[in-house]
Amino acid sequence: MQYVAIAGNIGSGKTTLTKKLSEHFGWIAEYESTADNPYLEDFYTDMRRWAFHTQVRFLDNSFQQAVEIRSSKTPIVQDRSFDENAYIFARNLHTSGQMDDRDFESYWKLFTTMSSQLPKPDLLIYLDTDYDRLNSQILKRGRSYEQAIPEEYLRNLNTLYNEWIDTYEGPLLRVKMSEHDFVEQSEDFYKIVNDIDKALALVK
C-alpha cells in the first residue's frame, strides 16, 4: 500500500492537491476535518485558554485517521500528516507561550506514544508557501473562524514548517508554491505528478 501525505500551512493548498491527486491516481483521499473539533472557534479567539484542548482533539482525530490508513490495502493520499500536529502546531503554541510547559509535556508524551504505532509516509509532499499567498487563500475561502488568525501566528508556523522540513528524514518532495499554480496551470500539476512518480519509484 502506498501512502502519500501532503504537508503545509493553513491555506497552502493541501486539500486541493489531495483532491486532484486522488482523482488523477485513483488513490483514496483522507482529509483533515476541522468540523470535528468543537474547540476550534474558541481557540482562535483565546488561544491560551483553549490551546491544549484544541490540540489534543486534533491529535486524536488525526490518530484515528492514521489507524485507518495503516489497515488500508488501497493507496492513500492524506491532507496533513500526523507529525504536523506536534512538530508544528503544538510546538508553536508552546514556544509562543500559549501552551504552558506542563500541558506541552503531557501532549508530547501522548503524541510520542501514538506516533510509535503509526506508519510513516512513503512520500511527504511539502507545499512551501509564503505568508502573502497564505493570507490571500484564507481570505478567499472565507471560513469565519480563520479570519481571526493573527499574522504572527501564521508566520511562526511557516518558520517551524521550514525547520521541520529541513531536518525531515524520509522521502520528501518540496513544492515551491510561488513557482507552481497547480489549480490554474495544468502543466504545473503534471510536473508535480511526474515528480511524485519519480519519488515513489525510488521507494518501491
User: Nearest CA to 39 among 24, 27, 52?
Assistant: 52
Does 19 carry a binding-site annotation? Answer: no
| In the predicted structure, residue 48 carries a pLDDT above the cut 90 | yes
Mean of all residue pLDDT scores within the chain: 92
Cα separation values, 109 from 47, 97, 102, 103, Å: 21, 19, 11, 10
Tell me if 9 is assigned to a ligand binding site.
yes
pTM reported for the whole predicted model: 0.91
**Which residues are CB-contacts of 83 (< 8 A; sequence separation ≥ 6)?**
115, 164
| Dihedral over Cα of 153, 51, 3, 24: its sign | negative
122 in active site: no
Q: Which domain holds residue 167?
A: 3-203
Q: What is the per-residue pLDDT across 105-152, written as a single tens digit (0 to 9) for each?
A: 999 999 999 999 999 999 999 999 999 999 888 888 777 767 778 889
C-alpha to C-alpha distance for 69 and 109, rounded to whole angstroms: 22
Band of pLDDT at residue 36, cut at 50, 70 and 90: confident
What pLDDT sits at residue 80? 94
- The answer to the question of whether 10 is labelled as a binding residue is yes
For the domain that residue 96 is a member of, what is the CATH number? Answer: 3.40.50.300
Mean pLDDT of 199-203: 88
Whether pLDDT at 44 is above 80: yes
Query: For the chain, what percentages of helix, strand and coil (3-state, to nearest 5) are there?
Result: 60, 10, 30
Least confident of 14-18, 48-52, 90-94, 142-146: 142-146
From the candidates 36, 42, 60, 79, give the one annotated as an active-site residue.
79
| 196 labelled binding-site residue | no
Contact 172, 123 (CB under 8 A): yes
Domain count of the fold of the chain: 1
Query: Grid coordinates standing for 84?
Result: 504536523
Contact 6, 116 (CB under 8 A): no
